[in-house]
Structure 1
Amino acid sequence: MSQTAPLHIASAGLGLKADFPGMVTADGKPWHYLDTAATAQKPQAVLDAMNNALGRDYATVHRGVYGRSAQMTLGYEAARRKVAGFMRAASENEIVFVRGATEGINLVAQSWGMANLREGDRIMLSQLEHHSNIVPWQMVAERTGSVIDVCPLTEDGRIDCDALETMLTPRHKLVALAHLSNVLGSVLDARRAADLAHGVGAKLLLDGCQAAPRMKLDMAALDCDFYVFSGHKLYGPTGAGVLWARESLLEAMPPWQGGGAMIEQVSFARTTYAPPPQRFEAGTPMIAEAIALAAAIDYLAPFDLDQLFAHESALARQTRDMLRGFNSVRLFGPEDSAGIVSFAIEGVHPHDLGTILDEEDVAIRAGHHCAQPLMEHLGVPATARASFGLYSDEADIAALARGIERTLKIFA
C-alpha cells in the first residue's frame, strides 16, 4: 500500500490521499480537509476492517461458545494488546476500551475521583483545556467539595510549568492536562508535569487526543497515571477510545457502571466484580470499533511517528508564514505548533470564513473548539483552525490561501 512509501516533509500527503476515500468531493474533485484535529479521515484498511467486523465476522464476544463468537473474542482482545503495544503499556490489563476520551475522563472522575477526593482537596487544570477535561472535574468538585485551580499559559500559549511548580501544594490530589492543545498546537512538557505532580503526591492525567496521532507514546517514559485518547482522531472509527491507567490504580478503583460483563457473580444479596479492565467495560462492548481501531494502528505501523510529527509541524509553519502575508490576520499559539494553526481575520467571523472556504472545497474548523475559557483568555469569541494529518500537503495550504483571498475580497 502507499503508506509504505517514505515520508517527505510537506509533500507526503500527495501519495497518501488515495488511501482515504473521503478525500474527494461528491463530484470527484480534491477535497482539502483541514479539520483533522476534530476527526481524522479513515483509510480504506480501517473501513474494510469495520465492514468485515460488522458483516462476515460478526458475533458477540466473551459469551458465546460457538466458533465465530470465539474468533471475535480473540479479535477483540487482540485489539487490546495492539493498543497496549502502541502505547508501550506494561500490560494489556492497563487498557480499558471506552467510547472516547470524554468517557475515559468521566470514568476516572467518577471512579477514582469520587473515591479519592475529599472536601478541601484541590484539582489542577490549565487554561487551555478542552471542555471534556474541565466539566467532569467540576461535577466531581461540586459533589466532593474539592477545589479547582487553573494553571496559566506562557506568552506563546504553552502550559506554564514554572507556574505549575509554584502553584502545586500537597493539597493537590490530581493534575489533569492536555498533552497537546487542540487549539494552539502547543505541546506540554509531560515528563516535567509528571515529576511536579508526583512531587506533591498528586496523580497526573493526560488528555492525549491530539498527541496520540502525532507523537510516540511510552507510558513508562511519560510517567503519568492516566492517559486517554479517542480512536477517531487516530484514523480509526468513532465510538472507540482508550483509557490507560496504572494497573495498581485500576485494581483499586470501583466500577462506574453496572451491568453484564463487568461482574464475577451476581445475586440479589451481593455482587462481586471482575478484575480490570473488564470491571470498567459494562455491557456489550464496541466490538467492531475496537477491531477497526486496531486496523488504524496497523495502518500507522510502517510510519515513523517522529517523521509524521515533523511533517505536520512543517505544514503548520508554512501555513503560519502564509497567513502572515495577510495584514488582517492574527495568529495564536507557538511558532512550533504541532500540526494545528488557529487564527482570526479582522472583520470576518470565523463561521463566515468557514462557509466561504467550504465553497472552495476547503474544510476548516470555526468556533470555540470546546475551549471557551481559552477563547476568553485569547480575547476572541472564536477562531478559525486549520489542522493537518498524514495525508495533508502543500496543495491544501495553497487552497486555503486562495479561499482567504476570496474572503477578503468579499468583505473588503
Structure 2
Amino acid sequence: MSSEIDSSTLLSRASQLIDLAREAGADAADAVVVRSRSQSVSVRLGKVEGTESSESDDFSLRVFIGKRVASVSANPGFDLQALAERAVAMAKVSPEDPFACLADEASLSRAYPDLQLLDTTEVSAEMLREAALAAEAAALAVKGVTNSSGAGASAGMGGLVLVTSHGFEGSYMASRFGHSVSVIAGEGTGMERDYDFDSRLYYAELDDPSEVGRRAGDRVIKRVNPRQVPTGKDVTVIFDPRVARGFVGHIAGAINGAAVARKSSFLRDKMGQQILKSGLSITDDPLIVRGPSSRPFDGEGVSGERLVMIEDGVLKHWFLSTSTARELGLETNGRGVRGGSAVSPSSTNLALEPGDISPEDLIRSVGNGFYVTELIGHGVNMITGEYSRGATGFWIENGELTFPVSEVTIASNLKEMFMRLTPANDIDRKFGVAAPTFAIEGMTLAGR
C-alpha cells in the first residue's frame, strides 16, 4: 500500500518532464499524473459474475510557446525527452489561444491542509464478494422481491500529481468504497426495478451491505402496480433527495464559467440577479475534511475556498478555472479540474442548503401532488432552460403518499422552477452534490 500512496517518484518524473520541455523551447509547462487504483466484485443470484482490478498512472504534459499551447499524454515507461520534444513541436504549429495559460504564480497554493481524504484500509476481493452477496441476499429477502439485477462492492483510490514550471509541486490521494444492489419486484409486464447504494471515503463509515440491500428491496416493492394520473398544468412536484441531487447538478452546469463563456447557459446574463427564492443558498466548499469531493488544490495548483455561489437567492459566482476566468475578464476561484491535459471548471462539495421544514411536513403541505423518485431521459435544454423529463414516483393525496405512478412526464422551464423551489431540512452531505427533499410548484404533468 505504501508504494501505491507514495508519489515522490512521480513528482520527480513530472519535474524532469518540465525541465526537458523548457530545454526544448517551451516558455512554460505543467505536468500532471492522474492516479487510479480500483477493485470490484459483482454478483447475481448468489454467484460471482465478475471481478475487476485496475491501476494506472496517466501522464500529461502541457506546454506553452507564446500564446500557442499543445498537450500530449502517455503511460508510465515513456521516454521523457521524446515526449517533451513532441509537445514543443506540436505547440509551435498550433493556432494561438489567447486564454490558455498557467495559473498566475501569485494564486498558487504554497501550503495546503490535510483533508483526511485517504483511508488505507486493506479490502480484499473476498471482503468485497461477501459484501456484495450480503447486499443482494438482504434485498431478495424482502417479501415481494422476485429477482435480482445484481449487486456489487468496490474499493479504490485516486489522486493527482501536479508540477508546474513556475513553482508549484503537489500531490494528493483519496479513497472510495462502495456497495450497491438492484432488484426486481412483480412478474411479466408488471415488473418494476429499483436500487440502492452507499459510497464513502472511509470504509468503516459505509452503511452495512445488508442495510443497503434492505432499502433497495423496500423501495422496489412499493413501485409494483403503478398507475397513470390525469394531465395537469399546475401540479406541485416533490423531488426525492436522490433525484434532487441531479437537479442541483443542472444549477451547477448553468453557473459553470465554461458554459457562460460559450453562451450555452440560460443563466449567462444573470450574475448579481435573483435566480432562487429569497433565503435560499447554494454553497461549494473544496476544503471539507473527509468531504466526498474535497481537494487541497485544483488541477492548476490553486487552493479554492468555500464560496456561497447563490446567496439569499442571488447569483454571486461562476465556477472558474484560469483560462475560463480570463475569457470572462475575471480571476480563477480554484475550480479547475484536469481532464487529461485539459483544464475546465467544475464544482467540488456542492450543496443546496436545507430549509426549516421536515420532508413529511412538506408533503403534507402540498395536499395533492406528485412525489418523484426517478427521472428518465435527457430532456433538459441548458441554453433555453426548457425542462421535460419522464418520471416515476408516488401520487400525493391529502398530504400522504398513496399509490405508485409511472409513464408520466413533468415539464417546465428551469428559470421558473428555480424561483418556485422550497427545500426541506433532510440534507445528506455524504454526496459530492448534496440536496434535501424539495418541492417545485406550478409544473405541468402529462399523464393519461
Query: How would you bin the TM-score normalised by the shorter chain?
Result: under 0.3
**Counting helix residues as a fraction of each chain, which structure ranks higher?**
1
- TM-score, with length taken from structure 1: 0.25
Higher-Rg member (1/2)? 2
Between 1 and 2, higher relative CO (CA 8 Å, sep ≥ 6) is seen in 1
